[in-house]
Structure 1
Amino acid sequence: MSTPDITDRLAGVLAAPVESLGLDLEAVELSKAGKRSVLRIAVDKDGGVDMDDIAEATKAVSEVLDTSDLMGNGAFTLEVTSPGVDRPLTLPRHWRRNETRLVKVDLTDGGALTGRIVSAADDAAVLDVEGEQRTLGYTEVAKAKIQIEFKREG
């Protein structure tokens, strides 16, 4: 089985136990590190995750992996974390969780804009772009990433 097939299978099996904790399974990544595999799981929720959430998710994922053959017989390391700020905004919940933050958006028409997320709904986000509010449908977005602000204005 290829790595994408394995990660898809893992995501399918691990989503329910993670969601039962009130968390969203944001990413499953499997890579090789020498003779070991490294399984990285990213979880998130509204308001962000804390260390207790990470610990609970680690326990739940470990229990599933210990009682299944999903990882085969090889040695592996499990890492459970929150998504980094460099994660692209691809789902409405990503936009909602980043309200008030600055985002750079590459548009499907080839244009680009940078603005502050005012609000987010299931089909669009409202951005403050240089003092003007703009409703941006997610279908207009080719790529969107939060911008790191060391000294936030306002």
Structure 2
Amino acid sequence: MVTSQSGPAQKVRDVVSPVVSAAGLFLEDVEVARSGRRHVVRVVVDLDEDAVGSLGSDALADVSRDVSAALDRHDPVQGEYVLEVSTPGTSRPLTELRHFRRARTRLVRLALRDGRTVSGRLVDAGPDGLRLEGDSGPVDVALDDVARGTVELDFRSTEDEEA
């Protein structure tokens, strides 16, 4: 979720954006919040929208170190702060085409503007719409018809891998 920001969050975004890009990642969000006497700086990164899969913990650790070093060099946050670098995770609502593209191959649930709900494995996502593979076959949904999408936990794929 890219938000319009000003103040400390925009200063942090300006510092970390080139670092995240240099790592081949996408800067999803930056938040700076007060927590007692210090700030919490939250940086959310993700793989490019064409990538399928998850960002590995080694890559996340590498970009965390690079972000921390850049913040130390440029000091965009006054005073003490705690840095949190994370990925959006499965709890992120799917609201933009980029989110849907990143969710390809995952089991998703779509709440449609007409009140219906559609579930299935997201096999394609583009400007013209989404294609899900549901229990009764393929389902095409126009992106404009989606009020909200979520990634569902998929226990079957885990069980299939263990078999």
Aligned partners of 1:9, 1:122: CA distance in 2, in Å?
A: 32
Match of residue 56 from structure 1: 62
Q: Of 18, 30, 33, which residue of structure 1 is paired with 2:32? A: 30
8-17 vs 79-88, greater mean Cα deviation: 8-17
Q: Of 55, 62, 68, which residue of structure 1 is paired with 2:74? A: 68
Residue 108 (structure 2) pairs with residue 103 (structure 1): yes
Match of residue 125 from structure 2: 120
What is the DSSP-based 3-state SS (H/G/I as helix, E as strand, rest coil) of the residue aligned with 2:156?
coil
What is the DSSP-based 3-state SS (H/G/I as helix, E as strand, rest coil) of the residue aligned with 1:52?
helix
Match of residue 78 from structure 1: 83
1:11-54 residue CA offsets vs partner (Å, 9 max, x unmatched): 34422220111111122222232212111112121232122211
Residue 25 (structure 2) pairs with residue 19 (structure 1): no
Q: CA RMSD in A?
A: 2.3
Unaligned runs of 5+ in 1: none
Percent identity at matched positions? 35
Q: Where does structure 1 differ by over 4 angstroms across 4 or more consecutive aligned residues?
A: none
Aligned partners of 2:21, 2:142: CA distance in 1, in Å?
A: 27
TM-score in terms of structure 1 length: 0.81
Aligned length in residues: 150
Match of residue 7 from structure 1: 9
Unaligned runs of 5+ in 2: none
TM-score in terms of structure 2 length: 0.78
